[in-house]
Structure 1
Amino acid sequence: MLLLYSSVFSPSAFAVSSVDFEIKGVSGAIEDNVNSYLSTISTPKGNNYSYFESKVRKHIIESIQVFGFYQSETTVNLTLDDDELIVFIDIKLGDRIKLAKVNIRINGDAGNDPAFSDLLSTVPLKSGTYLSHQDYDQFKAAITKLALARGYFDGKWAQSEVRVSIKKNSADVDLIFDSKQRYVFGDSVLSNQTKSGTVVTELATFQLGQAYESHLVAEYSLALFNSRYFQSASVVPDINARKDGKVPIVITVINHPSNTYEVGVGFLSDVGFRGTLGWKKPWINNRGDSVSAEFEYSTVQQEFTFNYDIPIEDPITNIAKIQFGYQRKDNEDTESKLFTLQLQRQFELESKWLRTWFVKFEQEDFTQASQVGSSIMVLPGVSFARTKQRGGVDPYWGNQQLFNFEVASRYWGADINMAKVQSRTKYLRSLDRTHFFTTRVDLGAIYVDEIESVPASMRFFAGGSQSIRGYQYETVTPVDAADAYIGGRYLTVGSFEYGYQFAEKWRIGLFVDAGTSTNDFSEPISIGVGTGIRWMTPIGPVKVDFAVPVNSDTDTKYTFHLYIGPEL
C-alpha cells in the first residue's frame, strides 16, 4: 500500500478535544469497516501527530485488507478547526486479490461425519472468487464450533493460513483440521445432594455410550428447568475429565421450595371482587409425585380444586392425575353445588398437543330458574390442548387451541344419555411489535333429548369478561316463559381485538365480541363493544376493559373488568 500524508498546519501544542474522519473512495461494508477500525484510535495528546498518523495508516491498511485489497492507495490530510482535528481520507482500492488454490480438509473421525460434509458443502472460499478474510475467519470458526458441538474435544488445526502474493494478485488458502476421535457420553454425575435423582434420570435426553452432541445436553438442561421440580438446572460436559473416549456429564439442580403460593385478584362489575389462592408442593416422594390446591372466590361463585400428580416415565409429558373439586354457584337464576372426582392421564404428543384421557364422576344439586334437580354423572372423555407463543410473558405471536369431548350414558351409571363437545381457538398476531390483533372463537354443543335433563353446570351460558364483554356474567342464554335463564345446548362466541402500543409498557385496545348461547338459534346475536388499557408487567398484562352492549334488552348499561392474566 502507498499512503501519502500532507499536513496543512504546523504542529503545535493546541489541545484536540475531538477527531472527525471524512472518508472518500469507499462505501457500504468497506466504509463501515474503515470507520470501525478508526473509531478505536485515541485522540492525539499535545502535538504528537506523527504517532496519530501512523495509527491511522495502520488501521486503514488492516480494515481494507479484510476484503482482499492489498494494493490500495490512500491520501490522508489533517487540519485543525479550533479544537477539532479533521482527518480527510481518500482511498483508491486498486485490484482485489483472488483465490487461487483452496485446500480445505477434515481428517480424523470427523472426516466421515455427515454434519461436517454438510458444512463443507457451504464453504464460501472457492478458487476464482475474491479473498475475504472475514469469510475465512467465520468458516474456520464454524469448523471449530461444530467440532466442539459433536464431541471432537481433542481436535486441532494441523494447518490454517492464507498466503497472499501481491505480485500475482492471488492468494492460497489451507484449512486442515484433525478432529482426532469423537467422544461419547460418559457417566452423568449429580454435583449436589438432592432427592430428585429418579426424576433427573428419567428426563435424560441421551444414553451412556451415545455419541456426544451438544444440543442433547442443552435439551436435557431445558427439560429439567421446564419441569415442575427445579427452580434452576445446569447440565454441562466435564471436558477436562474426559478419558478413554468418554466425557462425563455434570448435572446441578436446585429444587423448588417445599411449598409455593400464588395469589391473584381482580374486579369485574358483573361479579364484583374476584380472588384466587394457590398452593403447590412439588415434591412429596422420591418418585416425584406432587400435590397442589387452588381456591377461587367471587360473589357469585366459589370453587376449590385439589390435584395429585403422578409422573409416569417422563414427568413432564406423561402424567397421571387425580383431581377432586367442589364448586358452589349463586348467580342470577342459577344455584348449584357440585362435587367432582376426576381421573386423568396426560400425554404430550410429538406434535406438542397435550392429550388428556379422563373419567369424571360428578354429583350436583341445582336450581335453574324454576327447575330443581339432582344428578349423578359418569363422564369419560378426551381433551386436546396446545399453546404456542413467542415473546415470553408479553407475546407478540401465538396460537391457543383447546378441544374437549365427553359423553355420559346410563349404561355406566349416569342419569342421562348425552354427549358434549366444546372448543376454543385463539390467535395473536402483531405488526412491527406495535399493532396487535387478537381473535377468539368459542364453540360448543350438547347432544341430548331435553336440555332440562342436563345438570346446570354443564349447560352453556355466555356473557362476561371471558365471553361477551358488555353483558353481565352468564346472562346471554335462553329464557323460559318467566324470562328466567335456563341455559343452552349450543354456544357460539367470537371476538376481535386491536391493540396499539403507544408506550413501552402500555397499550390501548378496541374490541368487539359477539355470540349467543341457544337451544334453537332463534335468539338474536348479542354484540358488545368497548375499549381497554393494558399495562405490561413482568408477571403478565394488567387489563382494564370498559364495554357496552349494542343490542341488549336488559338493564345493563355497561360492564367494567379489571384482571391480570396471560394473553394466551
Structure 2
Amino acid sequence: MKWLVKISWFLCGVLILSSSFALPVNYEFHGIQDGPAYKNVEAVLKNLKKKLHNKKTLTDTTTITDELDDRITEAVKPYGYFNAKVQTTATLSNDTLNLSTNIHLGPIVRVKKVDIVIQGTAKNDPSFIALEKKFTPAINSPLNTANYDTLKTQLYNLAAAQGYFDATMTKSQIIINRPLLQATIIIHFNSGDRYRFNRITIGQSTYDEHYIKKFIEIKPNQYYSMKDIDQSKKNLINTNSFNNVVIQTHKKNRSRKTVDANITLQEKKPKQFLLGAGYGTDTGIRGTIGAHFRHLTDNGQQLDTLLQASQENNSFTATYRIPGNNPVSQQNLISAGIGHIDQDTGTSDVQKVSFSRVTTKNYWHRILAVNALDENYNITDLPKTDTHMIYPSINWARRKANGVLNPSYGLATVLNLSGTPSFLSSQDSGFSQIRLDSTYLTSFSNKATRLLLRNSIGRTEIDNLSSLPLSLQLFAGGSRSIRGYGYNSIGPGRNLFTGTFEIQKAFPHSQSWYVAAFIDAGNVSDQNLFDDVKSSVGPGIVWLSPLGMMELNLAFPLPKEDHGIHFDFSMGPAL
C-alpha cells in the first residue's frame, strides 16, 4: 500500500511540474481582415503556440520571429498575396512570450486566364459540367489556389464515383506573373471511358433472389455509379431485414471497360421482441409489449404485433405487411386492432380492421386505406352509442429534417382526409373530415437557440356530431396541443385550431440542455373558433436525450380562473 501512495504522490508532482513548464504565449496580428487568409494566419499562430507549449524557457526569440514571418508569408499566398511583407516582434515578460505581427498584404494577384479542359467521355457528363462550372474562377477575380486544389481533388473523386477508373490529370499548373499581378490557371483532365457493370452476384440468403433484386439499383450493362450502389444498400437496410449490406466491386476488365459486383447480406434475426415503459402527462404511466416477425416468407412478408397500456388508453394491434410490386416504395398492409379510450370528454371501446396501400416517394409518405370500424362510445353527457361504419381515408405525411430523434431543423407535415356516405354507416349519418398538422423546428447561433412551431387545423362536416364515433372526433389539449389542459379535454367540435410558439435557449457550455418558454393557443368548437380561445404560457426545461426530446413544462392556463397551474411532461422526437 505504501508504494501505491508514493507513486500517487510522484505522479501528482509530475503533473504539477509539467504544468509549470508550459510557456504561456500571447499573440496578436494586424493588417488582415476576417476571411480565408485570416483563418490561415490564425492557424499558423495556434500551431506555433502549441509547439512552444512544452518549452520551459526561451532566450532566443529571433529564430521564432523569423520562422513565423516565413510561415505567415506562405499562408497568405494561396489567396493571391505573393508580395506580402510580414514583421513580427517578440518580447518576454514574466516568463510569457508576447508576439505582435504586422502584415502588409500588398496588391493581390488576379486571374487573367482560365484553361480548364475535360477530355474523354466525361466531357459531356452533366455532373462533370456542373463541377467545372462551380469551381471555375471568374476572370479578374482574386486568385484562390485552395479552389484550384479542390477542383483537382473533386475531379478525381467524381471520376471514381462515376466509374471513370482510368482517369488521369494530364496537366495542372498555375502560372504567376508577379510584375503584372496576373495568374493563369491550367487544368487538363482526361477521364477515359466510363466502366459498366458486368456480372452482379448475390451472396447466400434465405430470401428469394428475385425479391432481393427488386431493391438493387445496379444492373448488368448499366454504367457504374457509386450513387446507385449506396441507394441499393439503403433500400435493403430499410426493409428491416438486414443488419448490414456490403457491395464490393472486383474483376475490372480494362479492355472491355467492365466491372463485376458482389452483394453480401447479413440478415437480422427472424423474430424481435419489444418491451418498454414510460410516462407522460397525456397518458400517465404506460407500457409497451410488441413482437416483430420479419421473415414469414422468402418474399419479405412480415407481421407486427403491439400491445400498449396506460392509465388512459389501451390498445392491441396486429399488422401484416406485404411488399408491393416495387417494394422500395410500395407496401400493402392488413391491420386489425382493438382498443379502449378513457378521457375527460368520453369513453369508447373500438374494433377496427384496415386494408391499406402505402406509397413512398421522395420525402412523401401516402396511405390509402379502407377501414371497417365497430365502436361503442359515449361522449360526455350523452348516452352510449354503438356504431358500425366503413370509411375510406387518405393520409399524406412529409418529414424533412437533419436527424431522426434530435434534429436541429426540419419540417413535418401530416394531412388526413376521411369520410363516408350515410349508407355505409349504421347511424345513417355520413361525414367528411380534413385535418392538417405541422411542426417546424429551426436553430440559430450554432444551435444555442431553437425555435419550435406547431399548428393543427381541422374541419368535420356531419349533420349530427354525436353520430361520429369518439375515435374520429376533433379534440385539443395535452402536451403536443395546448399545455395546461388535459389530454383531449377541449372538444368535441366541428372546427379545430391550435398553435404553439416555443423558444429554447441552451444552457452555457451545453448542447443538450435548454431552458424554454412557450405560448399555446387554440380551440375546438361548432361555432366561431375565436369566441372562446383557450391558451397557456409558461417556462420549461428541455433535454435532448438519446431517446429524443424530453420536456418538462410549467403551464399557466389563461384565463387563470379557469384552471390551476399544471406540470406537463412529454418525451419523443421533436418532429
TM category, shorter:
0.7 to 0.9
Q: What CA distance in whole angstroms lies between the structure 2 residues aligned with 1:297 and 1:218? A: 40
Q: CA deviation at 1:282?
A: 2.9
Task: Check if 1:563 corresponds to 2:570.
Answer: yes
SS at match of 1:329: strand
How far apart, in 2, do the equivalents of 1:517 and 1:92 lie?
A: 68
Equivalent position amino acid for 1:525 in 2: D
| Residue in structure 1 matching 2:293, options 262, 281, 284 | 281
1:106 aligns with 118
Deviations 1:424-464 (A, max 9, x none): 32232445134444343333344333234333433344444
The answer to which of 287-296 and 447-456 deviates more is 447-456
| Equivalence for 2:513 | 506
Asked whether the 8 Å contact 1:499–1:507 carries over to 2, the reply is no
8 Å Cα contact 1:460/1:517 also seen in 2? yes
Cα deviation digits, residues 275-319 of structure 1 (max 9, x gap): 333332333222111211222222332111111111113334211
Asked if the contact 1:543/1:562 (under 8 Å) is kept, the reply is yes
User: Equivalent residue of 1:259, what SS?
Assistant: strand
Q: Which consecutive residues of structure 2, in runs of 5 or more, have no partner in the other structure?
A: 1-20
Distance 1:514 1:314, change over 3 A: same
> 1:371 offset after TM fit, Å?
1.9
Pairs within 5 Å for 1:482-497: 488-497=492-501
Partner in structure 1 of residue 413 of structure 2:
401
1:120 matched to 2:132:
yes
Deviations 1:459-516 (A, max 9, x none): 3444444444333344434xxxxxxxxxx45141313232322423223334444444
Residues 259, 280 of structure 1: 8 Å contact kept? yes
- Give SS of 1:457's match: helix
- Give the residue type in structure 1 aligned to 2:158: L
Aligned to 1:540: 548
Instruction: State yes or no: 1:365 paired with 2:376.
Output: yes
Distance 2:527 2:69 in 1: 86
Task: Give the distance between the partners of 2:275 and 2:410, measured in 1 at CA.
Answer: 25
Whole-angstrom distance in 1 between the partners of 2:345 and 2:29: 80
Equivalent position of 1:453 in the other structure: 467
Aligned to 1:492, what secondary structure does the other structure show?
strand
Structure 1 partner of 2:279: 266
Contact 2:84/2:104 (<8 A) preserved: yes
**Displacement of 1:61 after TM fit?**
5.1
Q: In structure 2, what is the Cα distance between the partners aligned to 1:206 and 1:499? A: 46
Please tell me the residue identity of whatever aligns with 1:496.
Answer: T
**Distance change (3 Å), C-alpha of 1:331 and 1:21:** closer
Task: Give CA deviations for 1:38-91 in whole Å, capped at 9, x if unaligned.
Answer: 655655898898876775565355334434455556666666556556666666
Give a deviation string over 1:256-290, Cα, whole Å, max 9, x none: 4431415241143x764333333323332221112
Structure 1 unaligned spans of 5+: 1-14, 478-487
After superposition, the C-alpha distances for 1:376-412 in whole angstroms (9 at most, x for unaligned) are: 2111232222223334422333333222233334545
Distance 1:543 1:234, change over 3 A: farther
The change in CA–CA distance for 1:428 and 1:550 in structure 2 (over 3 A counts) is: same
Separation in structure 1 between the aligned mates of residue 372 and residue 341 of structure 2, nearest angstrom: 19
**Do 2:345 and 2:489's aligned partners in 1 also have CA atoms closer than 8 Å?**
no
Distance (whole Å) between structure 2 residues aligned to residue 67 and residue 547 of structure 1: 55
Alignment partner of 1:219: what SS?
A: helix
Aligned match of 1:374: 386
Q: How far apart are the structure 2 equivalents of 1:557 and 1:390?
A: 38
> Per the alignment, in what secondary structure is the counterpart of residue 497 of structure 1?
strand
* CA distances 1:333-370 after superposition (whole Å, capped 9, x unpaired): 734322111100111245x3322211111222334445
The AA in structure 2 aligned to 1:440 is R
Q: What residue identity is the alignment partner of 1:115?
A: S
Greater Cα shift, 158-167 or 143-152:
158-167
- 1:155 corresponds to: 167
- Aligned mates of 1:497, 1:320 — CA distance in 2: 38
Deviation of 1:124 (Å): 3.9
Residue 456 of structure 2 is matched in structure 1 by: 442
Q: Partners of 2:527 and 2:76 in 1: how far apart?
A: 78
Between the aligned partners of 1:163 and 1:489, the Cα distance in structure 2 is: 76
**Alignment counterpart, residue 419 of structure 1, candidates 420, 428, 431:** 431
Query: 1:323, CA displacement in angstroms?
Result: 0.6
Within 5 Å, which residues of 2 pair with 1:22-421?
28=34, 29-30=36-37, 32-37=39-44, 40=47, 42-43=51-52, 55-56=67-68, 59-60=71-72, 62-70=74-82, 102-125=114-137, 131-164=143-176, 172-190=184-202, 193=205, 195=207, 197-198=209-210, 200-235=212-247, 237-238=249-250, 244-257=256-269, 258-268=271-281, 272-331=284-343, 334-350=346-362, 352-368=363-379, 369-409=381-421, 411-412=423-424, 414-421=426-433
- Root mean square deviation of aligned Cα: 3.9
CA–CA distance in structure 2, aligned partners of residues 513 and 100 of structure 1: 60
| SS of 2:297 mapped into structure 1 | coil
| CA offset digits 1:190-238 (Å, max 9, x no partner) | 4664637555422233433222333333333333344433344454655
Between the aligned partners of 1:501 and 1:492, the Cα distance in structure 2 is 30
Work out the percentage of aligned pairs sharing the same amino acid: 22
Report the equivalent of 1:550. 558
Q: 1:326 to 1:158 in 2, by over 3 A?
A: same
SS in 2 for 1:315: coil
CA contact (8 A) 1:472 1:559 kept: no
| Aligned counterpart, 1:485 | none
What is the rounded CA distance, in whole Å, between the counterparts of 2:455 and 2:265 in structure 1? 41
TM (norm. structure 2) is 0.80
Query: Which SS does the other structure have where 2:490 is aligned?
Result: coil
1:482 paired residue number: none
Q: Would the aligned equivalents of 1:409 and 1:415 in 2 still touch at CA under 8 Å?
A: no
Q: Are residues 251 and 89 of structure 1, via their aligned partners in 2, closer, same or farther at CA, if it must alter by over 3 Å?
A: same
Match of 2:171, SS?
strand
Cα separation, partners in 2 of 1:260 and 1:375, compared to 1, 3 Å: same
Cα distance, 1:95–1:365 mapped onto 2, change above 3 Å: closer
* TM-score normalized with structure 1 length: 0.80
The amino acid across from 2:316 in the alignment is F
Conserved? CA contact 1:396–1:428, under 8 Å: no
Deviates more, 1:536-545 or 1:115-124: 115-124
| AA at the equivalent of 2:497 | V
**What are the superposed Cα offsets for residues 231-256 of structure 1, whole Å, 9 maximum, x if unpaired?**
44454655867772223344444444
Matched letter for residue 472 of structure 2: M
